[in-house]
Amino acid sequence: MKDYILLQLMRIMPTHALSRLMGRLAQHPASKGLIPGFSRVFNIPLEEAEKVVTEYRSLNDFFTRKLKPELRPIAASPQAIVSPADGKVAAIGEITEGQLIQAKGVTYSVWNLLGLLEEEASTFKGGRFITIYLSPRDYHRIHSPVEGDITSYSYLPGTLFPVNAFGVRAVKGLFAMNERLVTFIQSPAGKVGVVKVGATVVGSVKVGYSKEAATNVKAGTILHRQLPTEVHVERGGELGYFEFGSTVVLVFEQGKIEWLDHLREGMVVKMGEQIGEWKG
């Protein structure tokens, strides 16, 4: 009953306008004063930040901070699949009959997640997926799990339900309903979809390979765009960042990769560490 009431409240809240407002406030220089309290509340490891905390111009500048590069070494194996972000493994497994697991007994389709027709997403049926949740304390830049060429992206407007434990429990098909930005990479591991999922008070998702690609656009419409020139990215190379926290879902084609045996739901992963390998 509690989840139901909270969900109905979320449905009537102006979540998009609220998220844009929070994004603007977090970018204002006055928000710099919130950084010390924010750091304490979420127990953020300040010693990992690239800059001294007083050097950040705003709360958003701090939230999207880079880390000291030596703290996130990239797995050396040429066949490694690496974690695209710091976070917790929320779900992992096989895309069985085109379905990904959201929570126990709750699934959603890979074609809805990617904003494609079912036949267009058929190559991912029987493939592999992993869902990584980023909490407010985590590093919020997103990196490529493979070396390859960014060929296209999709912007898929939608709801902005929270992606925490409540949202996962209460909203069926949450990650295929919320607003998202999908980066497609062609690699030795086949075609890879890196799905950045928006959420309540996520100001926006930004990427470095296109100035036009961003989420939480007022009156946004579905957009599928091929890049005029493919953009090469190294394994562990930066793709973009969340302005406040959310979730990343990786999807791989059938028969291309395997996850490492020790990976389990609930595990904490760090960007750059090996989580799987592609089949050469």
Active site residues: 86, 143, 246
Give dist(CA 271, CA 149) in Å, integer.
19
Residue 117 DSSP one-character state: -
Sequence-separated contacts (24+) of 6-9 with Cβ below 8 Å: 6/166, 6/170, 7/161, 7/170, 7/171
Sign of the dihedral through C-alpha 198, 204, 206, 212: positive
| CA nearest neighbour of 227 among 157, 158, 148 | 148
Give dist(CA 173, CA 165) in Å, integer.
14
- Is residue 257 within 8 Å of residue 188, measured between CB atoms? no
Give dist(CA 244, CA 221) in Å, integer.
22
* Polymer length of the chain: 280
SS (H, E, C) 139-195: CCEEECCCCEEEEEEEEECCECCCCCHHHHHHCCCHHHHECEEEEEEEECCEEEEEE
CA angle 229–231–233, rounded 5-degree value:
170
